[in-house]
Structure 1
Amino acid sequence: MESHAPLQIDNFLPYMRDVIRCEQSLHELNLMWRMIESSAKMNCPTEAKTILPTMAATRAGFNRLEQELVTSLVREKVATVLAKIGAKAQYVIDIVVRNLYERTADVGFLATDRELCEFVAGDTDNVDAIRYRLRAYRNKYTVYDEIMLLDTKGNVLVQIDEESPVEGSVDPLLGQTLAASGYVQTFRATDLRPSRKQALIYSQRMLHPQTGVVVGVLCLCFNFEEEMAGVFRSLREEEDRFNMLLLDGANRVIASADRSWIDVGATVPVNRDGSPRLMIYGGREYLVRTFATAGYQGYMGPPGWQGQVMIPVEVAFSGAASNALDALDPASAEGLLTHAHSFCPPLFEIMTAADTIRRVVWNGQVMTAGQRGELQKLKTILEQIGETGNRSNELFSQSIRDLYQTVLGSSLDDVEFVSHLLVDLLDRNLYERSDDCRWWALTPELRMRLAEDEMDLESAQQVSAILDYINRLYTVYTRIFVYDRNGMIVASSRDGEGGNTIVGAALDAATLASVKALRGEQNYHVTPFVPTSLYKGAPTYVYHAAIRAPDNAGVVVGGIGIVFDATVEFSAMLNSGLAGKDAAHAFYVDRQGRIISSTDPARPVGSVLDIDPVLLKLPGGSGTSRIVEDRGHYAVMGCTACSGYREFKVSDGYVDDVLAVVFAYFGEVRKMAARHRQETVLDAGVGGREFATFFLDGAMFAIAAEHAQQALPAQRISRVSLGGRPERVGIISLEQQGEDKRFAWVYDLGHLMRGTPSPVDAASQVMIVSHGGQTIGLLVEDLHGVPEFDVAQIIPTPLANGEGGMLITQVIKANDGDLLIQAVNVDYLFAVLNDPEAPNEPLLQDAAAVFELKLAA
């Protein structure tokens, strides 16, 4: 979370039924451990003295774990909700600011349109022709619902919305605009839009084409309500439980996804720092996230505007639970869980605490092995310890799984949303490019110059100056160029910069033919995303529109091409979507998986992204997410296919599907067997031989209980590099109450058996094993229990020679033969490790002295 404010657990618990159930189960088990401990102290204090310290440690562990587990579950659930609504709140404000940035360029360019300026100056008086021109502009830039031209006194000279006629205005924005050299943005009630409670207007003064005197004002009226409805619509889910808002600087609602819920004009509480606290509005408690914009291209939008999402706490934690783990094989789930410390520290802490409890129970069973004949009372205590320990393990594992599901479910939702955001950003951006090329193709000077039989040097310079002016306003293009009816490029902005000159070059025949075939001024052509000399050999889109004769719109006299700065702009989009995600990569790809833009240097533009081919066939507008292994790392991946914006790619005939793919990484893939701790239940006998059971490479092994002393966490191994056997991984301190400190060498049992080192994670354990007065530690994968097996269940292995010359000479047939447990031959194990011919010191060769030497070093 972004805030360090303390989390008030009791405020959220009533709304989390699953956490309440978990808490109740923990209380019951805690009480059970206390009852067992009290019973042992009262009924058999002497016989139980060896296990009382273990039970006390177990109870203390429960006390700690109960609080940590409940707190972590609540914290992660609250963080998940805040992250989800926060992403949407940030999207609301960022997408609005990006959209309005384009408007600042539009008003600056249109205010210099020669035909419009001549009309406002009084040099021409054809109102119908000017209204037609303004409507032609609106037909391309469909985000505007009104365009007005006014004189310096506020009289409306022409407007396109005849259903809301305005004769004149006394709004102060006119004076502000006339006095400003650039654009003015206004959002409030205004007499320019009397039918609207509030209007967003971009205005700029207009100058006389010859004298430069201020002659009037251009007003572009943004269709604010319709655009905000579209933003909110793109974020709606099947079952909306939250409301999206756009706020002004005074925290007043200026747009609401559901006005019947929270209406425009209301003042609402805000949560800019993301603190996990409840806020009250209208007598109802909400979780709230609020974001201001970080700006776009230096433009910060209207002052104080904020995006906000509010969700009532009583529904914030309802809905379908995540089932992210169900699609994973158990081994992958276990491997991913080993990275819990990086993607969810609380989960890692709970795993560690749960492992500690399991180890405590196992140690208690080991310490009391062989004592069942002393007293029936002690035997009953031991049975209760085993039963309660199993119930505890089941609860811990299920709780950990629930928390794991919450974290992964949140991550999956997040990457899918980011991929949705990225394709939306792309379509919205490229929509503007289709508008620009079509409108600029109507520029009177361009139409007039290209209609000439041959463009002279002066005309070419004048056209280049126009293109340079446009390019300074619209910085998303590397160049804008025009070509004649034969495809010869006659003028270009920025021509010659960096030694790259295109004037005089010929357009390729296929593109020229496509431009000439365009039916009218509403049509455009886009070249495929391929390398082009127009973009210094890099791939990009080039948008084209036909330029038609001024006196005959049916005659194509040339065309205009605008070269989109794809490398820079697409990269900016991807990186903005990944803001705050350190271990993540994002890509734009086409339907063949070919990369259009990438944040991963190892997978550049033009290469093919290796993803499931099914994803490349996602229907437009749909998205999905899943857990995958990508280049040797666990990752959550989100993928969404574009759906277009307004008429762009929807009804204008242009088809170019792009998908956004997002990977968020958790860590390297660790191939390991799933542990199935709770699923592995043994149907053991009574009165037989006791074995300490444990896991190695996913299989169950056993060692005679009389040789097992205790288990210690693998994290306590002190690494020592003094040569010797490769299976020896270090030394470990043996701590027994009332005894002097002792040390033992630790050997990797898996390495001894398979010849390769074992991975070590939070669940790895060291079993302390003794034989013939010698003590060693064995590194194993995990612990299981200390069951009893009837002698008849213990059989020799097929290859056993009866002389003990193998590490595994017996197997235990458990669960009616459905499970075979390999029993380690302790005699052979110690003989191998004590082999004088092996490059290794004897097992007990002063491990304490070695440890002291290590400390001194």
Structure 2
Amino acid sequence: MDNKDISTLHASCIRFMPLVTQYNHTFLSLGEWWQKVTLIGKINSHSVTPTLIDDMEVTRRHFKELQANLINNLVKENIRKLELECSARAQVAIDILIRNLFERTADVGFLATDDDIRTFLRESTPTEQQHQAIVDRLHEYTTKYSVYDEILILDTKGRVRVNLDETNQVVSSNDPLIRETLETTQPYIETFRRSNLQSGRRAAHIFSAPIRDDERHGGNLLGVLCLCFRFEDEVNGIFANLVGEDEIIAILDQNNRVISSSNEQILPFGYRVSGSGQSGINFIELEEQNFLSHQNKTKGYQGYNGLNWLGLILRPVQKAFAEKSAATKSDAVQLQRSSIFSKTLQNIAYRAERVVDDLSLVVLNGQIVSAKRNAIEFMPVLEEIRTIGYRTKGVFDESIDDLCNTVVSSLLSDVQFQAFLAVDIMDRNLYERANDVRWWALTSCFREILAQPLRSHQDDATLASVLEYINGLYTVYTNLMLFDSNGTIVAVSNIDENHLIGQTMPDQAVIKKTLAVSDSKHYTVSPFAATPLYNGQHTYLYLTSIRAPHNNKTVGGICVVFDGKPEFLAMLQDSLPRDNNHQILSGAFGLFTDRHGLIIASTKPDLLPGQTLQLESHFFQLENGQRDSVILQYNGDQYAVGAAMSKGYREYKTTGDYQNDVLALIFVPV
């Protein structure tokens, strides 16, 4: 917004800022009383030199200028705090969604190459048993990837060969996305709109991919796979974590129309939001209510921007500036000289002190002159001017404390929220890893080959080839490996680590637990520790058993090596607070630790994974999902520190499947 827009915004908002309105009224009252007292002084100043009255008037003007400056900064800081909070929530709403959808782009491409699906589509008249086998397989998929509420497999004519949702009675479709998917040269098509493929939805969110006889060699088209994302379910979960009291959070499409809202009574589906595309805080009127709004484009994730949606947040203007301070008065006073305050803010208190000193000199001079000239009638005027000056200074002190409190409160709120963001991203990311390893363990060729009493070189080459293909789609792993029932590695996805083939998997306790997994629901995760499977660095390994296709006997297992170092580092960096130029705040750093302070990841070079964080803090005792923020000393420096304890995501770490509490910490120097 330009300066004119900013001035208009400030003028419109000031009446909704209780403390600012209160101080402004007090200053005006003091100013009016000063003028009256000065007028009385002029009437009774025949025996006093005119320069004394002029000096008092100059001092009054200095106070008035400083008052205007202070009120302006109070307004600016209140709006800045609001903009930081709103921008952060709108940005997170859209970026968390985009991160989730990015995972779907790999899912649809991989599932479209599933051999069981291909075999099924090759059958012109499959038996009921073959049909049920595919239905069961897709149910297995949605049990693990619970972000999907429907999967459809269609032939090239648009006829539905299989779908999971029994309430969805579609048998064929001429939706243009089918033809578009069959003709695309891209790995997938993403569609969000009404579709008879899910006629019960006001908008279906579908990831579709062509199914080919052999995807890797441009085989003949067999049909189309459609993964239907649980859009409303996902965004409602995002909104629940972000929305504050009386707030509304929404997702807008590329045409600025609401596609999901946390309050559809006020901001309904399909409503076109006016003023979209404008930066900063804006006014919007809905249902005869005035709101302040902020919207953000996605930052994207690994080059993926989805369908160019926006995150939007609305706050009722009447409640937008209500006091919700997370800072104590001692925090605010202690940090008044901190670098988090601009020089303008720091100078206001100093200048107010100087004006009072000048006023004291003026009054003292007036008393001397009045005494010399026996102007007794002017003495009460001088005393009242002195009293007004001290009262004004007192209001300055109080309002500056409140201004500092606003700044510190904003910072504490910000670091607390960023810590929550970091650990939420981590939980969501690792949820996908638990899904991946369990689904890949059901790959038919893995089960069939490992179930054989003897394997040929061609069998091992097939296993390696499939692993390599999967790893090419899912790049968050440095290696995928298969091992037999003795724990011996038989195939890897990373040809640079072929030397591992024939070796025994490390950490036999984890392998023993993995081989004991007797169904497709469960998995194991290694402790966060250094492992030779990750070049001696710390990471997590996700593992599960592989069972024979006919008798369910355990014939081996699969292990995926999460590329923890860069992935966790990127999560933390994406969560650190940034300045107006989108650069990470100088000196800020973030960490993931366990409840004992074991460092999982850090953006601070001297705090390495595997070390223990030396921090005496109650943070490690936070309940799952709990957040906090404080001002504290760390290694001789003062920081605002935000903390959030993990709570899991969907079924991950919430159903007794796996327990691993992770603490996210965000440090910002003050």
TM range (shorter): over 0.9
Do the aligned partners of 2:518 and 2:545 also contact (CA within 8 Å) in 1?
A: no
Distance 1:96 1:253 in 2: 15
Does 2:444 align with 1:448? no
How far 1:77 moved relative to its partner? 1.4
- 1:337 maps onto 2:336 in alignment: yes
Q: Is the aligned partner of 1:354 residue 2:320?
A: no
Give the 3-state SS of the residue equivalent to 2:270 in structure 1.
coil
Partner of 1:657: 661
What per-residue deviation string (whole Å, max 9, x for no partner) do you get for residues 106-145 of structure 1? Answer: 0000000111111112186400001100100110000000
Q: 1:626 deviation in Å?
A: 1.4
1:419-478: CA deviations, max 9, x gaps? 111111110000000000000000011111111223332222211111111111001111
Most deviating of 126-135 and 599-608: 599-608
Deviating more after overlay: 35-44 vs 118-127: 35-44
Query: Partners of 2:564 and 2:439 in 1: how far apart?
Result: 21
RMSD of Structure 2 on Structure 1 (CA):
2.2
Cα offsets for 1:23-58 (capped at 9, x unmatched)? 111112222333343343432355455644542332
1:150 is aligned, of 138, 154, 158, to: 154
Shift of 1:2: 10
- Counterpart for residue 571 of structure 2: 573
Q: How does 1:507-522 map to 2 (within 5 A)?
A: 507=505, 508-522=507-521
Q: CA contact under 8 A between 2:251 and 2:311: conserved in structure 1?
A: yes
Aligned equivalent of 2:132: 128
Q: Distance in 1 between matches of 2:382 and 2:456?
A: 103
Q: Are the counterparts in 2 of residues 33 and 55 from structure 1 also a CA contact under 8 Å? A: no
Residue aligning to 1:34 = 35
Structure 1 counterpart of 2:293: 288
CA distance in 2, matches of 1:63, 1:97: 50
Q: Is the 8 A contact 2:243 2:249 kept in 1?
A: no
Shift of 1:364: 2.8
- 2:608 equivalent among 586, 596, 604: 604
* 2: CA distance, partners of 1:270 / 1:258: 19
Rate the CA distance shift 1:61–1:276 in 2: closer, same or farther, 3 A.
Answer: farther
The 8 Å contact of residues 333 and 401 in structure 2, kept in 1 or not, is answered as no
1:324 match: secondary structure: coil
Q: Is the 8 A contact 2:332 2:408 kept in 1?
A: no
Structure 2 distance, partners of 1:637, 1:547, is 44
Q: Cα 1:356–1:277, aligned 2, differ >3 Å: closer, same or farther?
A: farther
Q: Helix, strand or coil for the counterpart of 1:487?
A: coil
Name the CA distance, whole Å, in 1 between partners of 2:85 and 2:235: 20
CA offset at residue 491 of structure 1?
0.8
Number of positions where the alignment pairs a residue of Structure 1 with one of Structure 2:
654
- Whether 2:267 is the aligned partner of 1:269: answer no
Distance in structure 1 (CA, Å) of the matches to 2:615 and 2:48: 62
Aligned position for 2:620: 616
1:297 is aligned to 302
Q: Distance in 2 between matches of 1:254 and 1:325?
A: 40
Kindly indicate whether residue 642 of structure 2 is the aligned counterpart of residue 638 of structure 1.
yes
Contact 1:268 1:281 in 2 (8 A): no
Q: Which of the residues 204, 212, 215 maps onto 2:209?
A: 204
User: How many angstroms does 1:324 deviate by?
Assistant: 1.3
In the alignment, is the contact (CA less than 8 A) between 1:245 and 1:257 conserved in 2?
yes
Q: 2:218 aligned with 1:215, yes or no?
A: no
- The change in CA–CA distance for 1:338 and 1:534 in structure 2 (over 3 A counts) is same
Residue 247 (1) aligns with residue 252 (2):
yes
Contact 1:80 1:410 (8 Å CA) reproduced: yes
Query: Deviation string for 1:279-307 (max 9, x for gaps)?
Result: 333443221111111110111112x3111
Percent sequence identity over aligned pairs: 36
Between the aligned partners of 2:347 and 2:264, the Cα distance in structure 1 is 44
Question: 2:76 & 2:370 partners in 1: Cα distance?
Answer: 45
8 A Cα contact 2:34 2:388, kept in partner: yes
Answer yes or no: is the 8 Å Cα contact 1:336–1:634 preserved in 2: no
Name the structure, 1 or 2, with higher relative contact order (CA <8 Å, separation 6+).
Answer: 2
Q: Pick from 265, 282, 286 the counterpart of residue 260 of structure 1.
A: 265
**Rg comparison, structure with higher value:** 1
2: distance between equivalents of 1:467 and 1:270?
49
Paired with 1:663 and 1:369, the residues of 2 have a C-alpha distance of: 54
Aligned AA (2:611)? S
Q: Is the 8 A contact 2:626 2:644 kept in 1?
A: yes
3-state secondary structure, aligned to 1:218: strand
Q: Give, in whole Å, the separation in 2 of the partners of 1:114 and 1:613.
A: 53
Contact 1:3 1:273 (8 Å CA) reproduced: no
The aligned counterpart of 1:193 is 198
Distance (Å, rounded) in 1 between the aligned partners of 2:243 and 2:510? 40
Match of 2:490 in 1: 490
Cα pair distance change 1:630/1:371, threshold 3 Å:
farther
Structure 1 residues 450, 231: CA separation in 2 closer, same or farther (over 3 Å shift)?
same
Distance in 1 separating the partners of 2:454 and 2:27: 89
**Are the structure 2 counterparts of residues 70 and 187 from structure 1 closer, same or farther at C-alpha, using a change threshold of 3 Å?**
same
Relative distance call for 1:321 and 1:440 in structure 2 (3 A) is closer
C-alpha displacement of 1:516: 1.4
Distance 2:276 2:68 in 1: 27
Q: Tell me, yes or no, if the aligned pair for 2:333 and 2:404 is still in contact at 8 Å.
A: no
**Structure 2 stretches of 5 or more lacking a match?**
579-583
Give the match for residue 95 of structure 1.
Answer: 96
Within the alignment, does 1:315 sit opposite 2:319 as a pair?
yes
User: Which residue in 2 is equivalent to 1:684?
Assistant: none
Secondary structure of 1:71's counterpart equals helix
In structure 1, what is the equivalent of residue 172 of structure 2? 168
Deviations 1:526-560 (A, max 9, x none): 0011111111111001100101111111x111110
Letter matched to residue 260 of structure 1: Q
Aligned amino acid, residue 267 of structure 2: I
Q: Distance in 1 between matches of 2:461 and 2:241?
A: 45
- SS of 2:7's equivalent in the other structure is coil
Letter in 1 for 2:531: T
Matches within 5 A, 1:413-424: 413-424=413-424
Task: Give the counterpart letter for 1:423 in structure 2.
Answer: V
Per-residue deviation at 1:366?
A: 5.1
The Cα shift of 1:579 comes to: 5.2
What 5-or-longer segments of structure 1 have no aligned partner?
667-857
Please give the per-residue CA displacement for 1:717-741, whole angstroms capped at 9, x wherever unaligned.
Answer: xxxxxxxxxxxxxxxxxxxxxxxxx
Q: Deviations over 1:545-602 (max 9, x none)?
A: 101111111x111110111111111111111112524132111111011211111113
| TM-score, structure 2 as length reference | 0.93
Give the residue type in structure 2 aligned to 1:287: L
Choose which of 501, 504, 516 in structure 2 pairs with 1:503.
501
Amino acid across the alignment from 1:147? I
* TM-score normalised by structure 1 residue count: 0.73
SS of equivalent to 1:511? helix
The one-letter code sitting in structure 2 at the alignment partner of 1:325 is T
Asked if the contact 2:90–2:311 (Cα under 8 Å) also holds between the matched residues in 1, the reply is yes
Alignment check: 8 A CA contact 1:419 1:640 kept: yes
SS in 1 for 2:291: strand
Q: Which stretch of structure 1 is more off in the superposition, 602-611 or 212-221? A: 602-611
For residues 455 and 202 of structure 2, the distance between their equivalents in structure 1, rounded to whole angstroms, comes to: 51
Q: Is the 8 A contact 2:266 2:287 kept in 1?
A: no
The aligned runs of 1:725-804 (5 Å cut-off) are none
- Secondary structure class of the residue paired with 2:75: helix
Question: Distance between the aligned counterparts of 2:499 and 2:239, measured in 1?
Answer: 45
Please name the residue that 2:461 is paired with. 461
Please state whether the residue corresponding to 2:88 is helix, strand or coil. helix
Q: Secondary structure at the match of 1:300?
A: coil
**SS of corresponding position for 1:545:** strand
Higher helix share: 2
User: What amino acid is the match of 2:223?
Assistant: G
